[in-house]
Amino acid sequence: MTVRVYLQAARVAAGPPVEGDLPAERVFIHATDLPEIWVETESAGVPEPGRAVSFALARGLDLGFERIAGTVERTLVKGAGRMRSNR
């Protein structure tokens, strides 16, 4: 089950994962006037909207950051061709 987690007040950081980080399988940053950042994870431990969360990239990439943190805005559960929203 893949969960897409939309983040508010998101920030990226360099450095290794820390205890409690969820694995980030995919990261999307839409840099517009109204920025949007979401992370997809296979983890079942995604907190409810309004809670803080942190992710570490599941694989090493040369992006200049390895960690993403923010507040859960909403989530979408992807599976079987459908997506369920948790607002």
81 by Cβ neighbours in 10 Å (0-12 / 13-18 / 19+) ranks as exposed
- pLDDT for 86 equals 64
Strand partners, 11: 69
Please give the average per-residue pLDDT across 41-52, as a whole number. 96
Q: Is the pLDDT of residue 78 over 90?
A: no
Domain residue extents for the chain: 2-82
The verdict on pTM exceeding 0.75 is yes
Buried-exposed string 34-71: b where 16+ CB fall within 10 A, e elsewhere: eeebbbbbebeebeeeeeebbbbbbeeeeeeebbbbbe
Q: Is the pLDDT of residue 85 over 70?
A: no
pLDDT digits (tens, 9 = 90+) for 12-43: 999 999 999 999 999 999 988 888 999 999 99
Please give the average per-residue pLDDT across 62-83, as a whole number. 85
